[in-house]
Chains A and B, each alone.
Chain A
């Protein structure tokens, strides 16, 4: 896998939500800033699991609201 966790998270977010990479900041809120619908949140969780080969608790994952928090969440799982 190429790139840091941060780069890979942003790449997944860009692909899933169809948002230009330069618009994705750590403080970006998935719903308010990036326009994620509820169903897309589920798809994002699935895409993160696939990208990092991890299993995320659905409820905990869906409580993550920003890109930065998602990076932290995944980094913790990868430890």
Chain B
């Protein structure tokens, strides 16, 4: 029996977060979606299938991405958008069945005879056999839109905390730091440091500080919260409940129910709430997003060129990889910013949708510096953290630059008509 994690046709509902990574690489809680799947199915062999353009970048990290690892066994197909939470996931063994939520296949357990017919795009194959296998509605959580990750995040942190063994202190908590609440709800990994005058509040959830992370003085951290490897919380910060910060980030100011994927900086003051920030993002000082409308109505978000009602009153920003904001940038509720954007605050609130590779300055869209110069800027930013930009990465960036071209040109054109 094998597990095969696949991407389906809904990955574009999660743009810009999924432009540069498979959907199962998204973070929710202390871990990514694929890590939760791998943890649940233990030693079972898992293969991963993803969009063609992602294979050169992720092929070496995920078994089966290059279409190796033949599907010649009984297979449990798992949608890469599935979120394993509170031990809820389809069992490995059992009769053939398909689990459906809305119109998406969440999982399919197939015997070798049927499974071995799967070739190329797994999602298309599963759609084709949907009516030949007993189907049932499933209540297993699935990530359909960017705000789902944020909404599930507090629970996912709790879940990851318990799944990884609960509380322990192997790093340092300074004697002048204060744990407010249950001390067993803290995990401090080796090399992690909590400086004096830091308050760790575990009354509403656990706090996980991963290896070599650091919290500087006068900060207040509320659980559930996850701080990734080599990340830092700057002095006098307020990190509110439900926040996950991936590896190698520097974060300051006020952050609430937000996921910062990895390698991103929000060094200075400013509020970030109910947001998902991808990699290599830099938010300038006092960049602030709204996450609640003044009339308390639900927030709409730009998804695939339409405004989708999130059904939630608390929705912040979704910010793509390599995007930068200037000092004093103000972002509206439900703002979506693509990859490689540059948003310059001009006193007002930035538009709710900024296509990839666009610059927004002086209240107008522009095409920015172009692909080559922005790639060089990305290379410089990454080298500061000892990460190189490979040819495969550049090819993927080029792909996104191409598929977002029309959006970008439309934004510039409309902007000039105003």
Contacts and interface: CB of A to CB of B under 8 A. Distances in A.
Contacts of B371: 59
Interface residues of B, number: 15
A39 B361 contact: yes
B366 interface: yes
Interface residues of A, number: 11
Contacts of B364: 46
Contacts of B412: 46
Contact of B368 (A49, A50, A58): A58
Contacts of A59: 369-373
**Majority DSSP secondary structure for residues of A touching B:** helix
**Majority DSSP secondary structure for residues of B touching A:** mixed
A62 B361 contact: no
Interface string A36-48: 0001001101100
Interface in B350-397: 359, 361-362, 364, 366-373
B361 A42 contact: yes
A42 B371 CA distance: 14
B63 to A, nearest CB: 39
Contact of B370 (A43, A46, A49, A62): A62
Contact of B416 (A42, A45, A46, A62): A46
B366 A45 contact: yes
B344 interface: yes
A58 B370 contact: yes
B362 A43 contact: yes
A46 B366 contact: yes
A57 interface: yes
Given A42-B368, A59-B371, 10 more contacts: A42-B359, A42-B366, A43-B362, A46-B364, A46-B367, A46-B412, A49-B416, A59-B372, A59-B373, A62-B369
